[in-house]
Amino acid sequence: MKGREFWRVRGRVIELHGEGRYREALAVAEEARRRFPEKEAETSYWIACLKCLLGEVEEALCSLQGALEKGHWWGERWLLGDPDLALIQDRPEFRRIVEACRKCWEAAQAKAKPELLVLPPRENAGKMPLLIALHWFGGTAEEFVPYWEGAWEAGFLVAVPQSSQVVSEDGYGWNDQGLATLEIALHWEKLRREYGIDPDRVVIAGASQGGRLAIELALAGELILARGFIAVVPAIREPEELAARAERAAERGLRGWILIGEHDHFRPQVEEFCTLACKAGLSCELEVVLGLSHDFPEDFPQRLQQALSFISRNN
C-alpha cells in the first residue's frame, strides 16, 4: 500500500529530525518528493523546515513558493506555529504565502463536512461488535480504513469518521475537540440506528492525534461507553492530566492497548501515561516496537488481533 510506504518515510524524517540530523532528513525528504508526487505539499513543507534549520532560508522559501504555484497549500497553524520556520516567518515573501494559503483554507473549509466510512457488515451478522477508528492529524478516512480491516475480518463492524476540520489541502484533524466530540456523537447515533451493535463490545481506536482522542473518549465514558481502546502511536502531551480519569474508567472495566515505536518522540509521555493508568487500576497493555518511529508496524494486522483479544478478556 503506497500510503503506508509514505508514512514509513514520514516516520524516518521525523526520527532524523528529532535526532538533529537535519541534512540526512533533508535527503530523505527530497527523495520522498520525487517518489510521491501526490504528496508534494507535505514533502515540500518538510524540505522548507529542514532548509530553515540548516540556515538555507532562500531555498526554504523557494520550496514553499514552488509548491504553492502548483496549487498546493498548508494550514496557517503549520506555517505560523512551527518553530522550524522561524528564520523566514518575518519575511514578506513568507507573509504572502501565508495569506494565499489562508484563502485556500477558507475555500476548503467552507465546503468541508464530517464523513463516515463504514465497512459493510457481514450478512446475518446479528449483534455485532463495533470498532470506531479515528484518523491521525492530516489524515482521511479512506487512507486510514485499511489498517483496521483485520477487525472487520474478525467480525467487527468497522467505522472510520473523517473530521470536518481542514488542516491541509488533503487532510483533516481533530484540533477543536468540542467539534470533534459533537461529530463523533452524531456518527455514534447513526451507527446505533442503522446497525445491530452489541453495546458491550464497542472499541474506540485511533492513531497519533486520533489515538489520543480515542483514549480521552474511552476514559470519559460519557459519549460512548466503550469496552476498551486501541491507541497506535498516540500523541500524548500531558500524561498526568489524561491519566486522571483512569481510576473511574477502571471501575467500569475499561481496558486499553497502546502501541508506540521505540524511536517515537511521544514515547516518554506514553510510557508515563501507562504507568499512571496502571497504578490507578486500569488494565492497560503497552507494546514498544523496536526500530519503529511514529507509524504503524508492518505486522500490525497480527498485533491488532492480539489487541482485540486483550480487550475482550474479562479480567
Residue 185 and residue 207 in one domain: yes
Among 72, 96, 111, the domain-final residue is 111
User: H/E element holding 133?
Assistant: strand 128-134
Residue 70 phi, psi dihedral angles, 5° rounding: -90, 5
- pLDDT value of residue 30: 97
Residue 212 and residue 138 in one domain: yes
Q: What's the N-to-C CA distance of the chain in angstroms?
A: 37
Residue 266 and residue 211 in one domain: yes
Among 55, 76, 111, the domain-final residue is 111
- pLDDT value of residue 173: 96
Residue 80 and residue 184 in one domain: no
Residue 78 and residue 130 in one domain: no
Among 111, 127, 149, the domain-final residue is 111
Task: For residue 111, give the C-alpha cell.
Answer: 465546503
pLDDT mean values, one per 10 residues, the chain (315 residues): 73 88 97 94 96 97 97 91 95 97 96 95 78 95 94 95 94 95 96 92 97 97 94 97 96 97 94 98 97 90 97 79
Residue 271 and residue 252 in one domain: yes
Residue 80 and residue 127 in one domain: no
- pLDDT value of residue 7: 75
- pLDDT value of residue 120: 84
User: Domain of 38: which CATH number?
Assistant: 1.25.40
Q: In terms of residue numbers, what domain contains 304?
A: 115-312
- pLDDT value of residue 198: 92
Query: Looking at the whole model, is its pTM more than 0.75?
Result: yes
Domain total for the chain?
Answer: 2
- pLDDT value of residue 127: 86
- pLDDT value of residue 6: 85
The strand pair at 157-162 and 115-118 is best described as: antiparallel
Residue 221 and residue 291 in one domain: yes
Residue 172 phi, psi dihedral angles, 5° rounding: -130, 160
Residue 206 and residue 221 in one domain: yes
**Dihedral angle over CA of 251, 255, 261, 267, nearest 10:** -10
Residue 286 phi, psi dihedral angles, 5° rounding: -115, 130
CA distance 137 to 26: 22
Residue 20 and residue 157 in one domain: no
Residue 53 and residue 152 in one domain: no
How is the chain split among helix, strand and coil, in percent rounded to 5?
Answer: 55, 20, 30
Contacts of 111 (CB under 8 A, 6+ apart): none
Contact assessment for residue 54 and residue 29, using Cβ atoms and an 8 Å cutoff: no
User: Domain of 127: which CATH number?
Assistant: 3.40.50.1820
- pLDDT value of residue 189: 95
Residue 172 and residue 89 in one domain: no
Contact assessment for residue 132 and residue 201, using Cβ atoms and an 8 Å cutoff: no
**What amino acid occupies position 273?**
F
